[in-house]
Structure formats: C-alpha cells, structure tokens
Structure 1
Amino acid sequence: MHRPPAAEAEVAAELAAVRPALGPRFAAELPGARAAVLTRLWRALAHEPLPWIERREAGRGGLALRLSDGRRLHGPPADPYATTGRVTEVRLDGVAYDDPARLTTALAVPHGDGFATELADSVASLALSRAGAEATGGGAGPGRWPAHDWEWEQRVVDGHPYHPNCRSRPGFSVAEQLAYGPEHRPPPVRLTLLPAPAAECLVTGDWPEELRDGRDVLIPVHPWQAAHVLKRSGAPGPAAHPLMSLRTLAVPGGPHVKTALSARLTSSVRDISAGSVASAAMLSAFAESLAARTDGLLHMTRTWGAVTADSPDLAALLRESPAAYAGPGEHVVPVAALATTELPSQPGWLAELARLCLSVGLRLLELGVALEAHGQNLLVVLSESGAPMRLVYRDLADIRVSPARLARHGVPLPELPERIRTDDVRALRRKLFGSLVGGALAGTAGDGETLRAALATAVRELPRTPDLDALCQQPLPVKALTLMRLSPEVPGDQWTVLPNPLRPQGI
C-alpha cells in the first residue's frame, strides 16, 4: 500500500485551507501523477549514462538493470520517445515501487536524497495541476480553439514530456501555484513595478516611457519574486497572463514580459543574467536578419527592450508576442500544445510538421545557428484548417552560433556572448537535434514508431547535407536530464544518446 510522501500530505493540507473543493480531485489524480513521473524516471534509468548502472539487459519480460552494488532493477520496456505510456511499478531486488521518490530513496545513490525530494514535489504539483485543469475545463478541436495566445499555453498541463521534475515548483505554496500556474487558468497576474536608478541600470533596446519615472527605471517583477527573493513592495504594474515558462507573462494587446524568477523549475534557476540583457537587442536584430533567409518560413519574436539593476534577480525583457505573426483565421500555437489537439493523429499531418521544422532548423544550422527548438520555444502558425504554415521562434538566450559557418555564408558576426559561440559541430547538432527532434517532434508524436514514420516521410523531401546525414544515421543526442540533477557538481548541460528514431530496430 502506498504511504503518501510529505509533499503529497502538505499539498493536501494546504488545499484543504485554500481550495477545499479541489481536495477530492487532487487525491484522485495522485496515482496517475506518480505513474507519470515514474515513467519519466524509468526512461532516464533506461537510457542515461548514470555511473552506478553497470549493464542493461532487454528481454521479453521488459528491461533489467544491474547496479554497481549488485542489485537488480526490473521494469517494462522503455520507448525513449513515448509520452503516453504509464510505468506503474518498478522492482528493485523484487521489491515493488510505484512512487518515484521512494524508488530514488531506496536506490541510495549520490545526491539521491535531494532528487527524491524534487520528485515528490513534482508528483504532488502534477496531481494539483491535473486536478486544477480538470476543475477549470477546457477542450480540444478546431471548433473550440483558443482565441488568445495565453490560452494555448494553459493547455499544457503536465509540463516537460520527459523530465521527471516536470512539475516541480519548489518554494511555491499551493495558493501560489493556483495563482501563477498557467494550467490552473488563473485570473491575470498583477506584476510589481520596482524602481531602480537609471544610472545604476543596464538598459538595451527601447525601454518604454511608461516604465520610467523621472530618473528611475521601473522594472516589471513577478509577484513571487518580489515577495520571496527581493522582499520588496512596489507599484502595481500591468496585469498579464502566465505562459508555460511561468516567469514569462503575456500583457493583453502588449508584449510578453520575461521576468527573473529565482526558483528551480525542472533543471534551472530562472534568473536573467547581465550578459543576456546586454546582448538582447543585438541578438534580436541578428536573429531577425537570419529569419529573412528562410523564405518566409520562420519569424523571430523581437526583443523590444531589456533591463537589469546589476542583479540577475532584478531584471526583465520585453518581447514581441508570437501572435503578431498570425494572419486572418490563423493560430500561433506552441508545439508543446499540439498534443492537446487532434491534429497529430490526422494522416500525414505530423510528417508535414516535421518537414517544416526540419527544413527551417537545418537551413539555419547550415548558416551557422542552432536553435534550442523545444516545444516551448518553437511555435507553429496553423491555417484555419490546421495545416502547418510557418514557424515562430522565441527566446534566443540558449541558441548556439558558429562563427566559421556564418563566415562561409558571408553572414556578419555580431559581438555575441562567448558562451553561445562555438564551431564544435557536435555541440551545434546536439543543440538543434536534441531540442527539435528529441523534444518538440517526439513530444508531439508521443511514441517512437509514430515519430519514425513522420521523420521518414519528411526527410525524403529535404536536400541532403552533412547535418541531415548525421540526423539520419547517428544516435540522437538529448540532454541527460536526470544525470544533470544527480550531478550538481558538474556545471552546464550533460548529454546522452538515444536510438536513432529513423531506424525501427533501434526503438
């Protein structure tokens, strides 16, 4: 019998105080939330280079892992691209575990205790997200497509399709999750405006006059950040709708406001560095010039202005809404939200999306820019009938740029941050392939065989290049998300490879 971890009990207790009517729904969602997070964890155990796993053995009964201490872990087959399957139980030396946090504690691996706490938070928050989404309703289908861009973001309930910390929101109370989580369809969030002397701020781009007050710059701050990190009050700012990233909010009829949010969501703490502010306008102009080379198939959302008060905890970016690139009757949809519609199940539709995404992504890669085109950053413009027409990309902070490739094509190189410049072909390819194929397209397909069929059709129509050959022939690089959480002493991204989805025998 399952004994609820502390996170589940704490959420239940808080829910009883702030939203008691949601309590029964939360309890009903817990088993599914445990299975969803356990499924993501089992995928990591099956495919990531975790140092305490010595050998993996696939058989008719599923998958067996031999640990370095001699113990054995048994579970079902692990399709690395599946999002719809559910792992309800894994056995460690014959003992069954249905809870990812308890399994991680039992594994007793380095840094496992902290990770187990994060997994317990992820389960509880995911159950809360599912309960809240169920309570507020919402549907799919062309006849009921959202009218506003933020409503598409609200349809993504489960978060990252492959990260075990898909819904971990440490430091957020239940009331704050209900108020700020887009999947809960909260009322607009009132941003806080904090003044900072203009002489002490770094400002790039065009910072609007309405966000200035004499010699001060008014910086939009997420209310959670103001209360818990900065511990300051300020003037009420614009009301805005939270998007998938939680810290970015859409002002109706205005910009998207990217705020600093110094909480660990999935893998990263979401602050805004001074380097990001300094390069924002230049990077935006550079990206816009590259989009012009895609024959109208790609738009880059422009960064209008950025500011930091000499602190990654007090900074903001104002960015153009992707909805600006929708024509009459069209919809601009984050790729992560496509799985909430019936479109991926329509014959040939996923192959058309894959062809569009790959043609644009590979074209930019050939020019020298690797996009981090996961389902949150990449959006697709759909026709009134749902056909994929064009792409929109937002958030340039983690792209990679090759000076050598740019020079080969006569593209001037601006003074970009050192961290995004590289001529390492492997680094460029894994940035694009891992995010686009292993993230956006795989998450939309929902399983390896569906992904393989769509990619096989799409690549036949693309011009052959060394980058495309690498995508078709080599294992697929993706971020080792669990290894990263279990290796806090290793900075930056860590990677693994998955069986090539274009090779059916590898899935």
Structure 2
Amino acid sequence: MERVDLMPPSGGDDVMERADAYAAAPLLNCLLREVAHPLPEPGVYRLPGVDRLLRVRGTRRPAEPEVRAGGRWHRIGHAELVKLVAEELRRHTGRSNHELPAEMIDSRDAVAALLAARARATPPADPYLRSEQSLVTGHPHHPAPKARGGGPTASWLPYAPEAHARFPLVLLGVRADTVVEEGDASALDILGDAPPGYRLLPAHPWQLDLVDLADAFADGRLVRLGTTAFDAWPTAAIRTLYAPGADLFLKFSLDVRITNDIRRLWRHDLVRLRGTDSAVTAAFAAIPGPAAWIGDRGYRTARFAYEELAVLVRDGLRGHLLPGATPLLAAGLVEGFAGSPLPHAADPMAWWEAYLAAVVPPALAAFADHGVVLEAHLQNTLVAVDASGTPVQALFRDAEGVKLLPEVSRAAGWERLVYCLIVNHLTEVAAALVEHHPGLDPWPAARRALTRPGLPETAALLASPTLPGKTNLLLRWTGADGAEARYRPLPNPLAG
C-alpha cells in the first residue's frame, strides 16, 4: 500500500499546506466512498453529478486531488475541493446545504490552528494521554472532523486535546433543592468544598461560555467556587476530561456541533444511562478474559439546566488495567503518536494477532451472550500493551453509544457492531499496520478471530461480499440526525 505523507518538510507555507492535506484526506474519503465511481485506472474516479474525473494519490489517506479539464489534470486545493463536493452533492441529492461547506472550511481552519499550537506545545509525558491527544486528522471518514462550531479560535483552542491542552475545571455550587443526581456521582464531592445548602458541580469552562446562566447566578441557584487545584486533560472526545491524580473521567455537555451532533448530554440519554451501564457491567463480569468496561457510574446536574450543566462520572483506568499494562487509544494507533508501538512491532503479524485476540472476542461475546451492542469504534476502544508494546487487553467505554437487544432489533444491532468494530476500527488499524509493514496480509488472521461457533451472523459476515459503510457526508448534507446511521455497501476484505 502506498504511503502518503501528510507532513511535508517545513517551509514558509508549511502549516497552510499541511492543514489543506489533513482536511482534504477525510473529505476525499467520504466523497470516494459515498458518491464517486471508481474507474479502472488506479486513483481515478468519476463524479457522476458534475460529470468530472477526479484523481487522487494514496488510499488510506487520499491526497493531492486533481480534476481533469481541457485534456489536463489540474491540482485543486481544499477550498476548490469543498466547492466541487458541494456542487456534486447538490446534483446528486437535488438539495442545497449552505451549512456543511462552511463546516468543511471551519474544519480546515481549525486544523491550521491546531498545527500551529502543537508546534508550540509540550506533549504529555504519559503515552496514554499522548494517544488521546494525537488526532489531528480525526475521524477518517467525516467531511469536517475538526469543525468547532464556527466560533473564533480563541474560544476553543485553550480546550483542544489536539493542542495538548490541560486546564482546571470551574467549580460551581448548585442550590441543593435543585440538584438532580442518579447513580454514584459521589466522586464529584472530592473536587472541592460547597457552602451549606449547596452541592458541588464541576463545569467545563468552554460550556460556561456557551450557555446563558445569568439568572441562576443572580438569584443564587448557582454560585462560583473557583477552580480545581489540579488540571484535567481533554481526551479525544473533547468534552470528556481525564484527571490523572484522581484517576477519574468526567464527561460534560458542549453546545457545539462536533462531527455529526451537538455534543450535549441529552436528557433521554441520561435517563437510560444507569440501565445501559448496569447491563454492560454485568456482561463484562461474565465475559472470560481480561477485557474491561470503563463504567459510567452516574451523573449530577441542576434541574433548571438539566442538559446544559450535566456531568457524567466515569471510572478511571487503574482499577481495570492489567498490572504493568499501558492503555492506548485505538484511534491514536491509527493516527500515530510518539511512542506508538504499531510502527515498531518486531513481528507485525504476531502484534496483529494479539490485537485481534484482545479486541474481537469480548465484543462478539457481549453481543452473542448478553445482547449488548458495544460502540466499539476507534475512539471508544483502548488497547493496553505490555512492556514490549504487544496488545494484552481491550477496554471499552461510553454507555451513551451502547445499544441493547431488544431495544434495537438483532439485525440492526449486528449491523451497527459490524460497522463500529470492523469498518470503523479493524480496517483502519489493519491499513495503518500494512502501511508501516508492507507485504503483511492482515485478513486471514481477522477471519480466524471473527469466527465464532454459535453466532450465525459471523458465518454470514465472512461470506458476504460487502460491509456496511456509514455515509457521514450524505447524512450531514441531507440534515439527518446523527444517530440515524445510514449505510452503503463496501467491499468486504474478509470475504474469501
């Protein structure tokens, strides 16, 4: 597989060129997956709506787009690519959309700001945090993975994981008679002291800038209590922060569209949280092997700002990790970061087989034996490695994304699992591994790992010519809800 370097040598326009390349790659992935028609010549596609030929270099991260006109190939930058995509989608769908092209430009501008900030920042010493804060490209099949709501850079950059941010949490006191709490949120009480008649509630400083709580502060329902004595680190999810000293994850609302959704902790998700987390916790207690579920213990909020101020309390890492193991974000392994074991595996096939053995069996067992559909994509999976960098354990997270049978049909649950685990996750890790270790064929080992007697869906999966690919570009263009996943068939590398 040809490797395309998105980081050209430094020069006067280095940041701008790199931002164009980073922003173009996922947009091109979407366009090629969802709309374009491949032609026999490698890297050449027909855009049926505008009836133009498009040529790209590379496969996993397409680069250097060119359009055929006047008998010649013409290189186009990110701005021209956005215009081309918008015109293609207008003709393809018969609908206009002025919001998404603006998000694509915002995403590219955000990448430029992140690259400049990373050049000045010191990466965390902890390899786990480095993996969480490595996602400059982000979702490899989203048209605007780094869009930050269109706000000025100064409003979001101080809180960006990709800029190696760390910052204290704002501490609020919420009048006790207005507090809503479910599950175990007691860990919040160790973050500071609340005055009599109030309960402690941490807040994300960016969220406080986004919502109007002036009336609640004016009438005493809310009081400011300063900030935490420690910094928290934003993870890849942006609104989920990790406090290493307390070994605690906290997930907040952010009234900003990031990828497909406004990232607020919605009431309907919060009220089902305890049931979902309990079901997954019980499943993992019964699943053999070291795989772990990082549980969502509970949440606390204010009745008058139920969604806006909600804080979800998530388990830390230490109680779940095997002794001596180092957790790493799966998405970070795909993106790359200093200290990643993936490019340095002495025996890449053995590394891949160990990866599959850690990740695949618990995800299949959760579905087959317990009716739990994990959202086992790259950003919700941690893979712990031993001192040699070999995978030894998988840790899964985020009850909000979990589906339970029969809340969803078995067929819909299986399709979602296949998309998250295989299309979004394993195919990306496999491609990154092959990029660093040319000649490796990852799919026979993957076929073996996905063979599970007693689960008829796996036999059908290995025989199917296609896999379900989520259509994020068309989903956003047509204004569908982010939870309403729509799929188109992709070639199945497992078949045969």
Task: Give the TM interval when normalised to the shorter protein.
Answer: 0.7 to 0.9
In the superposition, relative to structure 1, how do residues 164 and 27 fare at CA in structure 2: closer, same or farther (>3 Å)?
farther
Residues in 1 aligned to 2:144 and 2:12: alpha-carbon distance in whole angstroms: 18
TM-score by length of structure 1 reads 0.80
Write out per-residue CA displacement over residues 204-248 of structure 1, whole angstroms, 9 at most, x where no aligned residue.
112324475544333322111101223557322333111111111
Question: Given that residues 30 and 123 in structure 1 are in contact (C-alpha distance below 8 angstroms), is that contact kept between their aligned partners in structure 2?
Answer: no
Structure 2 residue 36 is the aligned partner of structure 1 residue 36: no
Matches within 5 A, 1:299-378: 299-310=292-303, 311-339=306-334, 340=336, 341-343=340-342, 346=345, 347-348=348-349, 349-367=351-369, 368-378=371-381
Match of 1:243 among 220, 231, 235: 235
Distance 2:283 2:42 in 1: 50
Distance 1:33 1:194, change over 3 A: same
- Contact 1:480/1:494 (<8 A) preserved: yes
* Distance across 2 between alignment mates of 1:35 and 1:26: 16
Structure 1, unmatched stretches of 5+, are: 1-23, 139-144, 404-420
Q: Is the 8 A contact 2:64 2:75 kept in 1?
A: no
Residue 298 (1) aligns with residue 291 (2): yes
- CA distance in 2: counterparts of 1:225 and 1:351, whole angstroms: 42
Distance 1:213 1:429 in 2: 49
Q: Which whole-Å deviations, capped at 9, do the CAs of 1:43-73 have from their partners, x for residues lacking one?
A: 222222x5xx7xx2412164332434x6324
Q: 1:72 to 1:89 in 2, by over 3 A?
A: closer
- 1:273 is matched with which residue? 266
1:471 to 454, 461, 469: 461
Contact preservation (8 Å) 2:383, 2:394: yes
Check whether the contact 1:291–1:299 (CA below 8 A) recurs between aligned residues.
Answer: yes
Identity of aligned residues (%): 25
How far residue 448 of structure 1 moved from its aligned partner, in angstroms, is 10
Post-superposition shift, 1:454?
2.1
Residue 260 of structure 1: how far off its partner (Å): 0.4
Distance in 1 (CA, whole Å) between partners of 2:365 and 2:115 is 38
Secondary structure of 1:219's counterpart equals strand
Q: Aligned equivalents of 2:69 and 2:273: distance in 1?
A: 49
- 1:189 is aligned to 167
**Is the counterpart of residue 59 in structure 1 residue 40 in structure 2?**
yes
**1:374-431 deviations in whole A, cap 9, x for unaligned?**
111111121111111111111111111113xxxxxxxxxxxxxxxxx11241x11221
Q: 1:75 aligns with which of 55, 73, 94?
A: 55
Q: Which residue of 2 aligns with 1:217?
A: 199
Distance 1:277 1:61 in 2: 47
Q: Distance in 1 between matches of 2:245 and 2:171?
A: 19
1:46 to 10, 19, 32: 32
> After superposition, where does 1:94-173 map in structure 2 within 5 Å?
96-99=75-78, 100-107=81-88, 109=90, 110-136=95-121, 138=123, 146-147=125-126, 149-173=128-152
Partner-residue secondary structure (3-state), 1:324: coil
- 1:297 touches 1:360 (CA, 8 Å); kept in 2? no
Q: What residue is the counterpart of 1:483 in the other structure? A: 474
Which shows bigger deviation, 223-232 or 393-402? Answer: 223-232
Q: Are 1:91 and 1:97, in contact at CA under 8 Å, matched by a contact in 2?
A: no
Contact 2:241 2:249 in 1 (8 A): yes
- Displacement of 1:146 in angstroms is 4.4
After superposition, the Cα gap between the structure-2 partners of 1:459 and 1:66, relative to the gap in structure 1 and judged at 3 Å, is closer
- Asked whether the 8 Å contact 1:130–1:158 carries over to 2, the reply is no
Residue 382 of structure 1 is aligned with which of 385, 405, 408? 385
- The count of residues paired between Structure 1 and Structure 2 equals 447
More displaced stretch, 467-476 vs 88-97:
88-97
Q: 1:123 to 1:422 in 2, by over 3 A?
A: same
Match of 1:459 in 2: 447
Query: Which is further off, 150-159 or 256-265?
Result: 150-159
C-alpha distance after superposition, 1:336-387 (max 9, x if no partner):
1123224256321123212332222111111211111111111112111111
Q: TM-score, normalised by structure 2?
A: 0.81
Closer, same or farther: CA 291–147 of 1 in aligned 2, 3 Å: same
